[in-house]
Amino acid sequence: MPRQSVVPGFRFDGKRRRACFEVTLPGTGGRLRRRKTVEASTREEALNLFAQFRAAVLSERNAKPEFFSDYVRLFWPMIRMRLGAKTAEEESLVVEKILNPFFGSYRLQKINAALIRDFVALLRSQSYAASTINRTVSIFRKLLNDAVAREVITEFPARGRLPKEKEIALRLELSHEEKSRFLSTFDDESRFRGHFSRRRPAGQVLSSRHFGEARRLFGGGLRPEGEAVGQYFERFRAMKPLFVIALETGLRRGDLLSLKWSSVDFEAGWIRVAVEKTRREALIPISESCREALLECRRRPRFNELVFVGEEGLPLSWTTVRRYFALAKKLAGVNRRFRFHDLRHTFGSALASQGVSLQLIAKALGHASVRMSERYARPSEESLQAVKRALDSSQARAPRSTTTPQK
């Protein structure tokens, strides 16, 4: 029996009478494929079905999508590959859950500014946050611009500026006093033990055959004065350099946990990091506090190419950092909304309050543009006190009236 030739993307199982097809979409470097499984009595029948499937896939690829949903189905996988992993995941949810359900049935050419305003009004009525609405519109604008670049449509379909919701600028960064309280918790063992004293569950006193029917306490929490709490405090104390460096560098969580010693130049006094999100280089001067924290990490016995490692010398996990961050907030009495990312905002706001230019702030934070750094260009409470002092001083210097009242 002559040997059958191998057809790329085609597989036929004669016993099961089943064929599997796979067609790679041209221009995608093998990353995008279409697959299909069909029933077929003979190999010849399966080959005919494969030829039809292949022709349909290639014609679909070459045809210009008319509706927004078709455009997303064909080209979003390619757009997604340009994005970082986290950004791709977040924007895919927006496209799938918000944009496609509303715009999917509209022709790309028929999308206009009035329709987008209706879309924004709908999101507002569904209590979406202003920041979420603006981010969604920004992703939608990116998709329409991409459709123009691919020549799917000849021009941007919406005339004029797209709607934008007014966002309330929240002041989530730490104040000087809060920052001091936050960092001091890592050195205050008595406060740490007191926390366990207040939170310790009572447990139950029961007799146990295992202990000769003697009555013992079961189910109680860690004893505040016990050795276990002392060991826990030492692990908590060892996390202080990470939070100091976060506050002194403004690095994002991912860039901070993946920081390598090769990025730290003690002699020149710089940290150079290729920021994962923007692919820009962040150039951060090493402050004295940052230097001390880095040297403390370097003196630890478990040496690794990473600055921050766990007890076993392995990369420090976000789960561990998040647990100690939550505990430090409680001990410091920071009960308002305050996220780990706000350590970065604290860094940016501190620079702005000291009069550092937006260009330098953008370079230190690794922003793609100065506009991204403008959120920090607002006066701190401390700098506003200078305004008050200036006003009081001007009033004190103002000449008093010497007009003599008429008799």
CATH superfamily membership of 176-199+220-379 = Intergrase catalytic core (1.10.443.10)
Domain boundaries, the chain: 10-62, 68-149, 176-199+220-379
Structure tokens at 192: 């740490």
d(CA 200, CA 229): 12
Q: Looking at residue 133, what DSSP letter applies?
A: H
DSSP one-letter string for 362-387: HHHHT-SSGGGGGGG-S--HHHHHHH
pLDDT at 217 over 60: no
pLDDT in tens, 379-396: 556 566 666 777 777 666
CATH of region 68-149, choose from 3.30.1300, 3.30.390, 1.10.150, 3.40.50: 1.10.150
The helix/strand count (H/E) of the chain reads as: 16, 8
What is the mean pLDDT of the segment spanning 241-254?
95
Alpha helix segments (H runs only) across 200-298: 227-237, 240-249, 253-257, 288-298
pLDDT at 266 over 80: yes
pLDDT at 207 over 70: no
The continuous run of DSSP H or E covering 18 comes out as strand 18-24
What is the mean pLDDT of the segment spanning 84-96?
91
Pairing of strands 10-13, 18-24: antiparallel
Q: How many CB atoms lie within 10 A of CB 37?
A: 10
What is the mean pLDDT of the segment spanning 311-317?
85
Give, to the nearest 10 degrees, the angle between helix 358-365 and helix 342-353: 150
